[in-house]
């Protein structure tokens, strides 16, 4: 079962129109691995902080006119 933080992160992805693929690229992971973490199939230490930071960076880039 996925952790609560993953649902919040996925909602934030949707609200900001950012794909899991974009998040994976920002993290330096494969989209498949990111999907496994977000679906609760993997639970690496520090994932919540790492994924949240990467998403916040993507949102900031988007707000500053990036892709």
List the CATH code of the domain at 4-63: 1.10.260
Local confidence band at 2 (pLDDT 50, 70, 90 cut-offs): confident
Local confidence band at 3 (pLDDT 50, 70, 90 cut-offs): confident
Alpha-carbon dihedral 39, 40, 45, 48, rounded to 10 degrees: 50
Distance CA 58, CA 55 (A): 5
Local confidence band at 1 (pLDDT 50, 70, 90 cut-offs): confident
Give yes or no for a contact between 58 and 22, defined as CB atoms under 8 angstroms apart: yes
The ranges assigned to domains in the chain are 4-63
Q: Tokens at residue 20, please?
A: 């899991």
Element (DSSP H or E) covering residue 60: helix 47-63
Residue range 5-64, pLDDT digits in tens: 999 999 999 999 999 999 999 999 999 999 999 999 999 999 999 999 999 999 999 999
pTM for this model (two decimals): 0.90
């Amino acid at each position: 079962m996925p952790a609560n933080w993953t649902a919040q992160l996925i909602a934030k992805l949707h609200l900001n129109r950012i794909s899991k693929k974009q998040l994976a690229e920002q993290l330096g992971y494969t989209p498949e691995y990111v999907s496994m973490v977000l679906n609760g199939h993997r639970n690496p230490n520090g994932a919540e902080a790492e994924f949240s930071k990467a998403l916040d960076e993507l949102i900031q880039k988007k707000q500053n006119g990036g892709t």
